[in-house]
A and B are shown apart, each in its own frame.
Chain A
Amino acid sequence: MNVAFYIAGGVAVVSTFMVITRAHAIHALLYLVVSFLSLALVFYVLGAPFVAALQVIIYAGAIMVLFLFAVMLLNLGREARAQEREWLRLRAWIGPSILAAVLLAELVYLAAGGGAGAAGLPAPASIIVGPKEVGASLFGTYLLGVELASILLLAGLVGAHRLTREEE
């Protein structure tokens, strides 16, 4: 179990790194899909098969296809790639690297047993989070958040309909 977790986690980290460093938009997108798939595996190993399936169906299977759809329509050529390389110069890395280093230090501190939070975490796969538990918390504990998100989506839907309406 633990080995699977670390392999999937490693793949997620490497593929996410590749997403950032690729100059080619579609190749970057494909690495992002791989990153999502390995994240789904991480969820599965941690005992949440339902969330893992949703991760693949919704993120990797639907949202990323929409991204791909848009990028395919843009027909980005050599110039776009050159520009992207220009943006990825060494100087641009300084700010994000410092921020990421802070987070990494925090993570190492917590993982090493510092702080109260780490001790309270359940051991991997000690409990299985099934569809029922996810549904109950979505429509119970987090009902307000779900409703707000749905209103936001509705607004987007109405906006899209208005934009694509044919003028009389």
Chain B
Amino acid sequence: MPEAGWGAVHVVVMLLMPLLLAAGLVWAERRLLALWQDRYGPNRVGPFGLLQVLADAVKLLFKEDWIPPRADGATFVAAPAIIVTCVLAGFAVIPLAPGFVVIDLNVGLLFLLATSSLAVYSVALAGWSSGSKYSLLGGLRAAAQMLGYEVFMGISLMGVVMMAGSFNISRIVEAQQGLWYVGPQFVGFLVFFVAGLAETRRLPFDLPEADSELVAGYHTEYSGMKFGLFFIGEYMGITLMSSLITLLYFGGWLGPWLPPVLWFFIKTFIFIGLFILIRASLPRVRYDQLMGLGWKIMLPLGLVNLMVTAAVLLAKG
């Protein structure tokens, strides 16, 4: 197949894969949560309850698409689109296998950080434009939380960038031939994982939604498919984070016997499972604890990791 043909295939795969995975994850998460909490979960519609997702999607599509009269119309509609666009754009630089990537950008990692920093607008604007106090509180929390955790997310990634000597994600994976970066960059991995949890607004860091205090936080006023977009955006965010952890710290597609793409998906699914397991087992932290953890523990830890990595690399020459 000619070059342009393969490019088109990559684009279609990278558009469909996150969407289908997100739909599958809705079901997988509910089943896994049920398993870990000793109950059944959705098991009525279709085999193993697999068609539950379809039923939910139909329900969301047919719900009344309501915009509150006090809401800021245009911004209210744009907010859910922003998160889906940003996350999908992020997938453009994710390589599934050697050469299987939409754009092999030289500053790929920075591109990912840029898209994830733009995703903040979605939740902040959703909270503000709804014209409701619960939404506004959720939006404010989301803005402060994601802004704070983005800082050391970037810093924790710099250790990997220094070791590989490149911002190009494919090159970072190839640099892990001998040793996965989770070994030498274990602290960086921990910091990045915590930041990833906060960036995707997952338990124990789901303060912007916090259903026990803020109804549903920033998406309280959303209904129908607009709510559905936030929902899908969250699951695609988890997929993106998991594939990033796989690529940067666990050797991406590298592995014996099996084809590279399979290795990539196996590792990614393990981390998606870990995200769900954490949701099933940890309670929500308090807001001041969340900010304290970010600025007082994670940021210094990330900086120390950066300095030690730089010193070791310099000493080795």
- Give the B-binding residues of A (Cβ under 8 A): 26-27, 30, 33, 49-50, 52-54, 56-57, 60-62, 65-66, 68-69, 72-73, 130-131
Contacts and interface: CB of A to CB of B under 8 A. Distances in A.
Centre residue among A49, A62, A65, A66 by max chain B CB count within 10 A:
A65
A69 B154 CA distance: 21
Interface residues of B, number: 26
A133 B159 CA distance: 19
B195 to A, nearest CB: 14
Given A26-B72, A68-B124, A131-B107, A53 B114 contact: yes
Interface in B97-134: 105-107, 110-111, 113-114, 117-118, 120-121, 124-125, 127-128
A56 to B, nearest CB: 4
7 contacts: A26-B128, A27-B75, A54-B110, A57-B113, A57-B154, A62-B150, A69-B124
Given A62-B117, A131-B167, 16 more contacts: A30-B75, A33-B121, A49-B105, A50-B107, A53-B107, A57-B154, A60-B118, A61-B114, A61-B118, A61-B120, A68-B143, A69-B143, A69-B144, A72-B127, A72-B136, A73-B140
Contacts of A53: 107, 110-111, 113-114
Contact of A66 (B128, B139, B147): B147
A57 B157 CA distance: 14
Contacts of B124: 65, 68-69, 72
* Chain A residues touching B, majority SS: helix
Nearest to B127: A72
A26 B118 CA distance: 16
Contacts of A54: 110
A49 B128 CA distance: 33
Centre residue among B106, B117, B143 by max chain A CB count within 10 A:
B117
